[in-house]
Amino acid sequence: MSKQTQASGSDRPRRMLIIVENGPVAMDHRIIKQIDSLVETGYHVRVISPGFPGNTMYRNRRQVRLFEYPPPPEPRSRLGYLVEYGYSVLAAAVLSVRAAGRHRPDVVQFCLPPDIYFPLARVFRRLGVRVVVDQRDLLPELYAFRYGSIGRRMRTVLQFLERRSFTSADVVICVNDYLRERILAVSGLTGDRVAVVGNGPVLAQVSRATSNESLKRGYKYLCCWVGMMGLQDRVDLLVRSIDHLVHGLGREDCAFAIIGSGECLSAARALARELDLDKWVEFTGELHPDDVFCYLATADVGLDASLQVDVSPVKAMEYMAFGVPVVAFDLPETRVLTGGAAAYAEPGDVCGHARAIDVLLDDAERRRELGQAGRARVRDEVAWDHQAITYLQTIARLCATQRPRRPASRR
């Protein structure tokens, strides 16, 4: 692809509009990688995002223009989510008028969930703009994981929103084959309209990171967990696994760094304090990506405790990139991603999870073997360097087949 992507019969740069609701752009590593790839290829990118101090990185960046709206309050109930989503759709609609301005985008990308933007997507398509849905999670499954179950009426509503979101798009991209098969099954889209674009790390960023033994805080080993702490991420299971490892199995030579923030951070800290783990467990809060990678360059084992069967954990990709073996629950997409690079426990078995960590820490050769397998998989397949090719080809194909703007109807 040429450095400057051009319109058919025109030398103007291609224009991309990205709309995100589930967090500010500066905290969404997938969008950051997408924007970097688009800008490097010559696109001009406009982004609609909840406001956040860290978004400063985009406020003066060449070829990127940021449109922010005040973030809604953190929802405290299911009704709170309805208010948040309604507000976010309205904000996105208003800012879309400003973002489009005199220069209509060639492609607009909606980052989902929540699956709420299909009315706006249909407006864009009517104006001749191509639409991409970037589906990271499945909303019905995510709802069930967060709240323990999902009633028939709520499932029907969420599935309706999901189908409308898929069929409003020219192309849907998703993070793994599980999601792709699910999207194809419920949407009726043809296979050429659903593409897998993974979410691996950028190899150059990995290569720049250096280890820092002081992060082990005097312990022999360091285990890391990295991510946003939502209800579905089950940081509570992680803390209980550490409790069994320390107090049940007597393992006291390992430090644990739990890196990130989110709605469950306070509860996780309180649980660690209640279980008398403060000596071993450090909650770092949100860190700059370079600092996160410094931890991973130092770590002996990377941890995951999610029970989401449809998710390819980004944290596992990052562990693998650094040659760090993974301990996780044995879930379909986790095994597809980490096969040959991880030790597994039965889903939800915190004692088995702790035993897997214990065995791995005692076996340096096994850690080395798993780490090498993971590093090779990321280098050869999973890294964003490879995934970006599919992403950019998808966007370029849409630009090349841009539909004409529909004329206004006569009265």
pLDDT of residue 150: 75
108: left (phi over 0), alpha (psi -120 to 50) or beta: beta
Which residues have C-beta within 8 Å of that of residue 318, sequence separation ≥ 6? 201, 226, 292, 293, 296, 302
Those residues whose C-beta lies under 8 Å from the C-beta of residue 274, and which sit 6 or more positions away, are none
Query: What integer pLDDT is reported at residue 406 of this predicted model?
Result: 54
How far apart CA 48 and CA 99 sit, in angstroms, is 8
- For the chain, percent helix, then strand, then coil, each to nearest 5? 50, 15, 35
In the chain, the domains with their CATH numbers are 15-200+385-400 (3.40.50.2000), 204-381 (3.40.50.2000)
pLDDT of residue 86: 82
Contact call for residues 305 and 234 (beta carbons, < 8 A) = yes
Q: Dig out the tokens for 221 from the structure.
A: 């080993």
C-alpha–C-alpha distance, residues 244 and 211, integer Å = 28
pTM: 0.87
pLDDT mean over 215-234: 94
What are the pLDDT digits (tens) for 72-96? Answer: 777 666 677 778 778 888 888 899 9
Question: Residue 349, class by beta-carbon neighbours within 10 Å (0-12 exposed, 13-18 middle, 19+ buried)?
Answer: middle
The answer to whether 386 and 201 are in contact (CB under 8 A) is no
| 3-class state of residue 70 by DSSP | coil
**pLDDT (tens digit, 9 = 90+) per residue, 37-61?**
999 999 999 999 998 888 888 888 8
239-271 as b/e, with b when 16 or more CB fall inside 10 Å? bbbbbbbbeeeebeebbbbbbbbbebbeebbeb
Convert the pLDDT of each residue in 231-284 to its tens digit: 889 999 999 999 999 999 999 999 999 999 988 999 999 999 999 999 999 999
CA proximity to 65, closest of 98, 41, 24: 98
Is residue 7's pLDDT more than 50? Answer: no
What is the pLDDT confidence band of residue 157, given thresholds at 50, 70 and 90? confident
